[in-house]
Structure 1
Amino acid sequence: YRFVEPGLYSHEKRIVKRYMVFALALFVSGVIYGYTVVMPIVFVVAVWLATLGGASLFFSIQDFYQNILIGSLATGIFFMFPLGILALNKAGIISYETLHNNWRYVIFAIFALLAMITPDPTLISDIVLGLPFIVLYFFTMWLVKRSEKGKKKN
């Protein structure tokens, strides 16, 4: 922020500060969720699949911490999804009506994608990863609706 601050007007500084706090809150909550919920499930499933296949459970401490770091950071970035959609709305690319009319398709597509990319044959990891997305999607819809109401007032 200190790097870009000298080039910003006062109203731009307020906007950047507000969105930086929002982005940080979303990212940190995602990292916490990834560390406390997602990563334990990932390791339980990995151990289960390895023992089921007869493989030995040997990995270094560095690999263990690297996987936790990458998984937690990826979940934190995933939680910043509302900011990306809000930016698309501000640019006029996506509207509340689009989000509202297509929410069923988006949620179906996300669960289909999760079913393909998660190694867990049960639905546990899909639900654990999909439920926050549903909450974030509806939160995003609310943010976009609020943003569009603000545009109409001005």
Structure 2
Amino acid sequence: MSFLDHLEELRWTLIKAGAGVLVAIAVCSFFSEWIVDQVLIGPTRPDFFMYDVLALEPESLELLNRTITGQFFADIGTIIVVGLIAGSPVVVFYLWRFIEPALYPSEKKGMRFSAVSATFFFLLGAAFGYLILTPLALQFFAQYTLSEQIVNQFDIMTYFSMVTFWTMGTGLLFELPVVVYFLAKVGILTPEAMRAYRKYALIAVLGVAAFLTPPDPISQIIVAVPLLGLYELSIYVAKWVARRRAQALGMTDE
């Protein structure tokens, strides 16, 4: 295919991927009442099931709307975010379909692994952010008071923004093994380098955990532990890729 033909194929790939996300958003819109009531507002209730799992004693959060369009955009925004998460496998699928014809049979296995892993780790991270990080952070800020005369009341748009940030942010952070796979594939990153910089990675992970969580040591540790686990997993991913590259180079030399 010529360069222009490739651009045309890419355009249709993006259109199909976007259409898949729009379909997911449209489906979510039919369940908007349930999604808003159970997904968006769910963590504000003391009976949210994760509070029992995390052994927390929750307080009920009171949400307020201080702008004319606050509830409208919180409603629409929630549907879009849930639709993006639900439609992410469709995006990965069509991008894979676009890249696949240009790969050798040996490369297709690795790219197939990357496509599946990217979807899995993003959904895993989003679930972690929503089910663990969000309840911990909400309860910390709900129970933090300077004085009994000050009542905590959360604006609906601020609440929506923070829940989205915690959910999508951890989803992207959990893509670390996939990013390492690609960097190791092109020879930019090696397992030896990752082991050498492990102590700096620990500092970076603690910094990210402190940024995402409230100033609560327990919450920071709960977030930092899986991120450190992902870093260690990424070392093994880089080691596996390096071994495969060495084998391929050995076969080429022969």
TM bin, normalised by shorter chain, reads: 0.7 to 0.9
Aligned length: 152
Q: Unpaired segments of 5 or more residues in structure 2?
A: 1-92, 249-254
Q: Which residue identity is paired with 1:139?
A: L
List aligned pairs for 1:21-60, cutoff 5 A: 21-49=116-144, 51-52=145-146, 55-60=150-155
Q: Which among 74, 82, 85 is matched to residue 180 of structure 2?
A: 85
Distance apart, 1:119 and its partner CA: 6.2
Counterpart in 1 of 2:102?
9
- Structure with max Cα Rg: 2
* Distance change in 2, residues 1:4/1:145 (3 Å): closer
Distance apart, 1:10 and its partner CA: 5.6
* Distance change in 2, residues 1:3/1:41 (3 Å): closer
Matched, 1:75 2:167: no
Distance apart, 1:4 and its partner CA: 6.5
Alignment root-mean-square deviation, CA:
2.5
Deviations 1:72-117 (A, max 9, x none): 11111110011112222222222111001221221123224544x3
Range with bigger deviation, 89-98 or 52-61:
52-61
Counterpart in 2 of 1:102?
197
Distance apart, 1:41 and its partner CA: 0.7
What is the alpha-carbon distance in structure 1 between the residues aligned to residue 213 and residue 171 of structure 2? 21
Deviations 1:49-72 (A, max 9, x none): 3x2355432224454344323311
* Distance change in 2, residues 1:82/1:67 (3 Å): same
* Distance change in 2, residues 1:146/1:38 (3 Å): same
Distance apart, 1:18 and its partner CA: 2.6
Range with bigger deviation, 79-88 or 36-45:
79-88
Q: Unpaired segments of 5 or more residues in structure 1?
A: none
Q: Which among 128, 138, 153 is matched to residue 232 of structure 2?
A: 138
Range with bigger deviation, 88-97 or 54-63:
54-63
What is the alpha-carbon distance in structure 2 between the residues aligned to residue 13 and residue 6 of structure 1? 12
Q: Which residue identity is paired with 1:147?
A: V
Range with bigger deviation, 72-81 or 100-109:
100-109
* Distance change in 2, residues 1:10/1:147 (3 Å): closer
What is the alpha-carbon distance in structure 1 between the residues aligned to residue 124 and residue 114 of structure 2? 15
What is the alpha-carbon distance in structure 2 between the residues aligned to residue 15 and residue 136 of structure 1? 19
Counterpart in 1 of 2:10?
none
Taking structure 2 as the reference length, what is the TM-score of the superposition? 0.53
Q: Which residue identity is paired with 2:165?
A: I
Higher relative contact order (CA 8 A, sep 6+): 1
Q: Which among 219, 230, 233 is matched to residue 125 of structure 1?
A: 219
What is the alpha-carbon distance in structure 2 between the residues aligned to residue 113 and residue 56 of structure 1? 29
